[in-house]
Amino acid sequence: MITNKNCIIRLSRYKNALYRLQALGFVKVFSDNLADSVGSTASQVRKDFSLFGISGNKKGGYQIDILLEKLNSILGKDQLQKVIVIGAGHIGSALMRYRGFEKEGIKILGGFDIDPAKINRNSVVPILPLEEVKAFIKAQGIKIAILAVPDIAAQQAVEMITGAGIKGVLNFAPLRLKDVEGCIINNVNLEIELENLIYFVNVEAKIK
Amino acid sequence: MITNKNCIIRLSRYKNALYRLQALGFVKVFSDNLADSVGSTASQVRKDFSLFGISGNKKGGYQIDILLEKLNSILGKDQLQKVIVIGAGHIGSALMRYRGFEKEGIKILGGFDIDPAKINRNSVVPILPLEEVKAFIKAQGIKIAILAVPDIAAQQAVEMITGAGIKGVLNFAPLRLKDVEGCIINNVNLEIELENLIYFVNVEAKIK
DNA sequence: TAGATTGTTAATCGATTAACAATC
DNA sequence: TAGATTGTTAATCGATTAACAATC
Tell me the average pLDDT across A93-98. Answer: 98
B99 touches strand D (CB under 7 A): no
What residues does CATH 3.40.50.720 cover in chain A?
Answer: 81-192
Identity of the residue in A76, A101, A188 whose CB atom sits nearest the CB atom of B188:
A188
Alpha-carbon distance A128 to A106, whole Å?
19
Identity of the residue in B77, B94, B176 whose CB atom sits nearest the CB atom of A13:
B176
Q: Whole-number Å distance, CA A73 to C1' C23?
A: 28
Closest Cα to residue A105, out of A75, A134, A132? A75
The pLDDT, as a whole number, for residue A207 is: 74
Flag if A95 and B204 touch (Cβ within 8 Å): no
Q: State the nucleotide closest to B58 in CA–C1' terms.
A: C6
Flag if B201 and A12 touch (Cβ within 8 Å): no
Identity of the residue in A90, A100, A204 whose CB atom sits nearest the CB atom of B98:
A90
The residue of A1, A71, A196, A207 whose CB has the most chain B CBs within 10 angstroms, and thus the best one to mutate to test that interface, is A196
Q: Whole-number Å distance, CA B207 to C1' D17?
A: 29
Flag if B168 and A98 touch (Cβ within 8 Å): no
Q: How far is B142 from chain A (nearest CA, A)?
A: 11
Q: Which residue of B has its CA nearest to A15?
A: B192
Total residues belonging to chain A: 208
Q: How far is A76 from chain B (nearest CA, A)?
A: 6
Tell me the average pLDDT across A77-95. Answer: 97
CA dihedral A43, A44, A48, A51 (to 10 degrees): 60
Flag if B104 and A5 touch (Cβ within 8 Å): no
What residues does CATH 1.10.10.10 cover in chain B?
Answer: 5-74
The SS3 call for residue A104 is: coil
Q: How far is B21 from chain A (nearest CA, A)?
A: 14
B43 touches strand D (CB under 7 A): yes
Alpha-carbon distance A20 to A26, whole Å?
9
Where does the pLDDT of residue A206 fall: very low under 50, low under 70, confident under 90, or very high at 90 and above?
Answer: confident
Alpha-carbon distance A89 to A5, whole Å?
29
Q: Across the beta sheet with B81-86, what order do the strands follow?
A: B127-129, B106-113, B81-86, B144-147, B168-171, B184-187
Flag if B197 and A205 touch (Cβ within 8 Å): no
Count how many pairs of residues, chain A against chain B, have C-beta atoms within 8 Å.
Answer: 171
Per-residue pLDDT of chain B (208 residues; tens, 9 = 90+): 667 899 999 999 999 999 999 999 999 999 999 999 999 999 999 999 999 999 999 989 999 999 999 999 999 999 999 999 999 999 999 999 999 999 999 999 999 999 999 999 999 999 999 999 999 999 999 999 999 999 999 999 999 999 999 999 999 999 989 878 899 999 999 999 999 999 999 988 877 6
CATH of domain B5-74: 1.10.10.10
B140 touches strand D (CB under 7 A): no
The SS3 call for residue A86 is: strand
Alpha-carbon distance A146 to A106, whole Å?
12
CATH architecture of the domain formed by A81-192? 3-Layer(aba) Sandwich (3.40)
Alpha-carbon distance A4 to A25, whole Å?
32
Where does the pLDDT of residue A178 fall: very low under 50, low under 70, confident under 90, or very high at 90 and above?
Answer: confident
B40 touches strand D (CB under 7 A): yes
The pLDDT, as a whole number, for residue A43 is: 97
Q: Which residue of A has its CA nearest to B16?
A: A175
Q: What is the pLDDT of residues A147-165, one digit of tens each?
A: 999 999 999 999 999 999 9
Q: What is the pLDDT of residues A26-84, one digit of tens each?
A: 999 999 999 999 999 999 999 999 999 999 999 899 999 999 999 999 999 999 999 99
Flag if B90 and A98 touch (Cβ within 8 Å): yes
A44 touches strand D (CB under 7 A): no
Flag if B97 and A90 touch (Cβ within 8 Å): yes
> For the whole model, what pTM was predicted?
0.95
pLDDT over 90 at A144, yes or no: yes
Q: Position A27: which residue type? A: V
Q: Whole-number Å distance, CA A45 to C1' D9?
A: 16
pLDDT over 80 at A208, yes or no: no
The pLDDT, as a whole number, for residue A2 is: 60
Flag if B144 and A198 touch (Cβ within 8 Å): yes
Alpha-carbon distance A139 to A64, whole Å?
38
Alpha-carbon distance A72 to A82, whole Å?
16
Annotate B88-125 with DSSP letters as a single string.
-SHHHHHHHH-SHHHHTTEEEEEEEES-GGG-BTTSSS
